[in-house]
Structure 1
C-alpha cells in the first residue's frame, strides 16, 4: 500500500505542477511582458476562472501526505517551517493581487497589485524549484554534529542559508547555489509554460511575441537542464543508479526531452494548444524522473548516522492505508467531475470575460 499512496501523492503533485504552474508562469509574463492594459486583462482572463481551483491539488497533496506519510509530514513541515510560511504569504499576495487589481480603476492601485501578482508568481516559481533542490540534495536528519544526533532521527531544521552557501556544508541551508540554480530552472520552465497557456487561451496581440519568447527561452532551458544534470552528478555521485537498475524508468526523461525539443517548433504549431502539451510533458517527465532517481527515498539524509526517510519508514499503518483507498476513490471522482465541468464551461478563448472587473 505504501507504493500505491506514493504514486497517488506524486500524481497529485504532478497535476498541481502542470495546472498551477501555468498560473505562476502567467504571472511572470504579466510582470515582464504585458505592457498594455489590454494585454494585462487578457492574461488575467486566461487564468482567472481556473487559478483557485488549481490550488485544490496542493491542498490535496498536503492531505495525502498527512494521511499516508505522517512521519514525512511532521518532519518536513517542521524542518521547512520558515520557507513554508513564506510560500503561504506569497500565495496570499498573489491571489490578492489578482483579485483586487480590477476593483478600483486608479493607476497607483493597479500598479501595486500588478506588482504583487507578478513578483509573488516569480518568487513562488523560484521557491518551488528550491524546494525540489532540497529534496534531491537531502537534509541533515537528526541534526548530527560531530557524528552524534542532537535530535530525533527524523527531525531537522534549516535556516534560509548557511555562511558558505554550499550544498555540501555540514550545516545546510535551504538556499545554496545548487537549490537556487534549480529555482532558476523552475522559473524559466514555468515562464514557458505560462506563455503557452496564454497563447492557448487568448487571441492577445501579445501571442506572437510570446511564441518568440518561448522559442528563445527554450534554448536557455535546454542549457540549464544540461548544466543541472552535470551539477547533480557532483552533488550525488550516482544520481542515475535507479535508472540503470530499472531501465523502464528512462520513459520519464524521454517524456521530458520530447517535451523540451517539441517546444522548438512553437512558431510553426498549427494549433495554439500544442505548445502547452509539450511544456506539460516536460514538467511531468522532469518531475517524475527526479523523484524516480531518489526512490524509495522521499527525503534523503546527508549524514551516515540516521537513515533517509523513505516511503516505508514514514508510512501510516497498513489498515489505515487500505481503508483510505475507498475515500480517495470517491474524492478523486468528485474532483475529476468538477474539473471536467469547469474546463468545459470555460473552453475556448478567454480574452473578453473581463475577469476581476468591478
Structure 2
C-alpha cells in the first residue's frame, strides 16, 4: 500500500533533483564547481543512496519470495533514512560555512574534532543536529502523507508516528534555530539587519503546531499541507540567513556570493526563456498526476503493479 501511494509520483519527483542541479550549473557555475568539488564524497554517497532506493523500488516485485522482498524493503528503508540524514548534513555544512580558499575551492574531511571552527569536518555537533532535524522533518512529512493517502491500520500507524515525531521535531528544530547564529555570526547579522526575515522561522514553528493540531482533529489533508509549509519555511529561513551567499566560507572574504558566481547576463537571459516553459511543463505534469491519483489507496493489491 505504501508503494502504491508513491508509485505515480516517484519518477516525477526525481526531476526536481536533476533540474535543480542543472539550473545551479547554468546560472551559478562558480558555485556549482566549488560545491561539487568540495562535497565530492558526500555527493557520491548521495548518488549511491538514490540508486539504492531506485533499485529497491523497481526490483522488489520481480521475484515472489519473502526473503527477496524483505531484503529490498530493508535497502529501501536504510537508503531513505541515510539520504535524509545526508541532505541534512549538507544543509548544515552550507549554513555553517566551509573552508573555502581564495581560489574558491575547499577540501572537507569527514570529521576533525566534531566541533565547528576554523578547520571543520563534514561531521560536527551542529551538522549532526541539522541532519537529525532533516530526518525528523522528512519523517513527519512522510507520515502525514501516508495518513492522507491510506486507510485502515496503515493510516493509524502513520498517525501514531505523526504524534511522536512532531514532538521530537519541535525540540530539534528549536535547538537548531538557537544554535545557528552562534555557529555562524553572519546569520545573526542578516536577521538583525533585515528583521522581516524573522517571519520565516516563526512560520516554520507555527506550521509544526498546525501539523499537530490538524492531526489531532483527523484533518489529514490540512496536516500534510501544513507539513509542506513547514519544510518550505525551514528552507527559506536557511536561505535568508545565508543571503547573498550561495556557499558561505569560514573566512567571509572567500564566500561565493550570488553576484560573484552568476553567469554572464546574456547567458542568463537566454536560459530564462528555456527555464520558464520547462518548469511550467513539469509543474503541469505534476498537477495532472496528482489529480489522476487523488484520494487514498484502498488496498495493498494495487502495489504489485502500481510502480
Same-fold call, TM cutoff 0.5: yes
**Which residue in 2 is equivalent to 1:95?**
54
**Which residue in 1 is equivalent to 2:279?**
332
Q: Which runs of 4+ in 1 moved over 4 A?
A: none
**Which residue in 2 is equivalent to 1:320?**
267
Equivalenced residues, count: 305
**Which residue in 1 is equivalent to 2:41?**
82
Cα separation, 1, equivalents of 2:198 and 2:114: 32
Q: TM-score, normalised by structure 2?
A: 0.94
In structure 2, list runs of 5 or more residues that go unmatched.
Answer: none
**Which residue in 1 is equivalent to 2:129?**
181
RMSD in angstroms over aligned alpha carbons? 1.7
Cα separation, 1, equivalents of 2:184 and 2:271: 35
Deviations 1:7-64 (A, max 9, x none): xxxxxxxxxxxxxxxxxxxxxxxxxxxxxxxxxxx11111111122101001110011
Cα separation, 2, equivalents of 1:333 and 1:104: 39
Cα separation, 1, equivalents of 2:160 and 2:226: 16
In structure 1, list runs of 5 or more residues that go unmatched.
Answer: 1-41, 143-151
Deviations 1:228-271 (A, max 9, x none): 12221321235333233223323322321221111221443343
**Which residue in 2 is equivalent to 1:11?**
none
2:99 paired residue among 125, 140, 143 = 140
Cα separation, 2, equivalents of 1:245 and 1:269: 40
2:167 is aligned with 1:167 = no
Query: For 1:240, what is the secondary structure of its paired residue?
Result: helix
Q: TM-score, normalised by structure 1?
A: 0.81
70-79 vs 252-261, greater mean Cα deviation: 252-261
2:75 is aligned with 1:116 = yes
Deviations 1:189-227 (A, max 9, x none): 111100000011111412123222212221111111121
Give the direction of change, closer, same or farther, for the CA distance of 1:356–1:96 in structure 2 (3 Å limit). farther
Relative to its length, the structure with more helix (as a share) is 2
2:233 is aligned with 1:285 = yes
Deviations 1:131-155 (A, max 9, x none): 000001111111xxxxxxxxx5201
2:165 is aligned with 1:206 = no
Query: For 1:252, what is the secondary structure of its paired residue?
Result: helix
Cα separation, 2, equivalents of 1:336 and 1:94: 24
2:34 is aligned with 1:107 = no
Contact kept, 8 Å, 1:211 with 1:266, in 2: the verdict is: no
**Which residue in 2 is equivalent to 1:195?**
143
Cα separation, 2, equivalents of 1:217 and 1:330: 38
Give the direction of change, closer, same or farther, for the CA distance of 1:79–1:356 in structure 2 (3 Å limit). farther
2:199 paired residue among 243, 251, 257 = 251
